[in-house]
Amino acid sequence: MADEISPHVRPSKKGKHVFVAACCIVLMGIGLWLVWRQAREPTEQTEEAFFPGSKKKMPVPSEKVIDYGKLKEKSDEALTALMEERKAPFGIEKSIDMIVRPDESIKVGKETVRMQKILDEVRLKQGEILETDLVAETKPKEQDAFGIHVVQPGENIWDIHFNLLSDYYDHKGIHLSPIADEPDRLGYSSGVGKILKFSENLVHIYNLRTRALDTDLHLIYHLSKIVVYNMDRVFALLDRIDYKAVNRIEFDGETLWLPAVQ
């Protein structure tokens, strides 16, 4: 007679061992993954510290972006008011489009660039060594101000400087003649002309398309180049000039000599 098969079949000891081993492998795998993930986080932070920019950069917060388009269209009242407030101490209105802090970015057309990147390019051009904190970036000085003029087709650096000078003196109640920068009958440069010539050493042209400093204003694409002024440096010079004695200024190609205060 055939043996009766019981409906309750007990698993063999071998099956139990296989099941337990599989669970152990799964648990060990989860544990190793958690340990790897924990160890990976400081590694990524270290890589970012020693190789800035190795990770994908986060977008600049909107409150840190000075948008030229919004200023030109006056579509952002808060931004327009901010620029007017920043321009007021310098006595300018039309010749400078934006005044930007080192920790801000500017947007012109489709291009957005950090002001600090432009300043780094300027320092490199001047032969300064860039020192970057490997742990955290050095905080910029909030009081530093940089004027931005967006170059328009047909403009040249001389006219851009003259417009700034005219804007500055208008605020002081002094009207500059349109020919104030032209040489006299003997061919000697006027005082205003000497100031403009010297001013070329105080500004920088930045190409937004190539992300580099430039020297040529003749080749201009729409919204492609800007002129950058160190506002404190430029206006510290202008404030020292007595316009009544402007024609007594001397310029030797490098140094601007101002007449002694009487």
Q: How far is CA 188 from CA 24, 166, 181, 251, 253, in A?
A: 93, 21, 11, 11, 14
Q: Cα separation of 47 and 97, whole Å?
A: 39
Q: Cα separation of 237 and 193, whole Å?
A: 15
The structure tokens listed for 148 are 């931005």
Intervals of the chain under pLDDT 70: 1-24, 26-27, 29, 31-63, 128-143, 217-220, 260-262
DSSP state of 145: -
Predicted local distance difference test score (pLDDT) of residue 200: 76
Predicted local distance difference test score (pLDDT) of residue 201: 78
Q: What is the pLDDT of residues 79-103, one digit of tens each?
A: 999 999 999 999 898 999 999 999 9
Find the Cα–Cα–Cα–Cα dihedral 113, 115, 116, 119, rounded to 10°. Answer: 110
